[in-house]
Structure 1
Amino acid sequence: MFTALEVFTTMVVGLMVGVEFSVAFVVNRILDALPGDNGQLGRAHGGRMLGAVMPFWYIGSLVLCAVWAVAGWGDPGTGLVVVAAALLVVSVVMSLLLLVPINNRSKTWTPENRPDDWKEQANRWDRFHYVRVAVIIAAFTLLAAALA
């Protein structure tokens, strides 16, 4: 049962990394290349859709890491899981303080009501997101190492 928890936790965090990586380096690049207002409309829709799902995914990943750390306390690799959980805490705090406020504004924007600095706000979100992706990649790497 413990092995299943380890594998499931690693898989859940790995899938989250994949989604967030693709948003950062694929989806947003595609949206930014669309003509007219389509990119901004796509980002707003993505903000609504992923903004509804990702909080559960981030918190769920953190809870799974905490359960793994407690259940495996004293086992080799538990220190890696604890550090991975700490990195996931950092990603949640970053999200709440830096990314969510921008996302909450941008998900309501249309070409008619968006602010003049909408591109600067989107670029700021992207920069924060790159850092968050690096943090969760590090957490995933530590979980994979602990699993091995």
Structure 2
Amino acid sequence: MLGTLGPLGTLEVVTTVLVGLMVGVEFSVAFVMNRILDALPEDSAQLGHAHGGRMLGALMPYWYGGSLVLSVIWAVAGWHHPGAGLVLTAAGLLVVSVVMSVLLLVPINNRNKTWTPEDRPADWKRQLHRWRRYHHVRVGVIIAAFTLLVAAR
């Protein structure tokens, strides 16, 4: 099926699906997984957050980076096609999400993923709440990027 779309159409579909899946994972973290973890006893909640930080922290840089690269390729390859401005704007929003990640979320996550109940800082909950606020904003940014990619397709 993708072969019948041509190279640009295939790029559009693959990019849109990749970004859509990323949005789904990040939305789930924000509005499902964090609530589940927060309902666990304190030590279990903190251990779950640390494990999630390690697991997703290893994967998400590639996912965000790959989504951004594919969006930029789409914007360049489809420059003279309808929707190119939407794709370029989506790529810009993905840049914002990467910058937010590097400057705001990753430093907190890098601390969080090493904590144990024995050595976590006294303000660990406050740090996780700050991470969550930044994450909610980032989720909004990537939802907007995804919406633009869908509209451009």
Check whether TM > 0.5: yes
1:36 matched to 2:42? The reply is yes
Deviates more, 1:135-144 or 1:67-76: 67-76
**Which amino acid counterpart does residue 32 of structure 2 have in structure 1?**
V
1:18 matched to 2:24? The reply is yes
Question: Which residue among 92, 100, 104 is the counterpart of 2:106?
Answer: 100
1:134 matched to 2:140? The reply is yes
Aligned equivalents of 1:78 and 1:24: distance in 2? 30
Q: Deviations over 1:96-137 (max 9, x none)?
A: 000000000000000000000000000000000000000000
Unaligned runs of 5+ in 1: none
Equivalent residue number for residue 125 of structure 1: 131
Aligned equivalents of 1:126 and 1:35: distance in 2? 19
User: Per-residue deviation at 1:74?
Assistant: 1.3
User: Per-residue deviation at 1:35?
Assistant: 1.6
Greater than 6 Å deviation, 4+ residue runs: none
Aligned equivalents of 1:62 and 1:78: distance in 2? 15
User: Per-residue deviation at 1:38?
Assistant: 0.5
Q: How many residues align?
A: 147
User: Per-residue deviation at 1:36?
Assistant: 3.4
**Which amino acid counterpart does residue 43 of structure 1 have in structure 2?**
H
Equivalent residue number for residue 79 of structure 2: 73
Aligned equivalents of 2:26 and 2:11: distance in 1? 22
TM-score normalized by the length of structure 1: 0.98
Equivalent residue number for residue 3 of structure 2: none
Equivalent residue number for residue 56 of structure 1: 62
1:82 matched to 2:88? The reply is yes
* Identity score, percent: 75
Equivalent residue number for residue 115 of structure 1: 121
1:37 aligned counterpart, secondary structure: helix
Question: Which residue among 10, 13, 33 is the counterpart of 1:4?
Answer: 10
Unaligned runs of 5+ in 2: 1-6
Q: Deviations over 1:26-84 (max 9, x none)?
A: 00100000123101100000000000000000000000000001110111100000000
Aligned equivalents of 1:73 and 1:24: distance in 2? 34
CA RMSD in angstroms comes to 0.5
User: Per-residue deviation at 1:94?
Assistant: 0.2
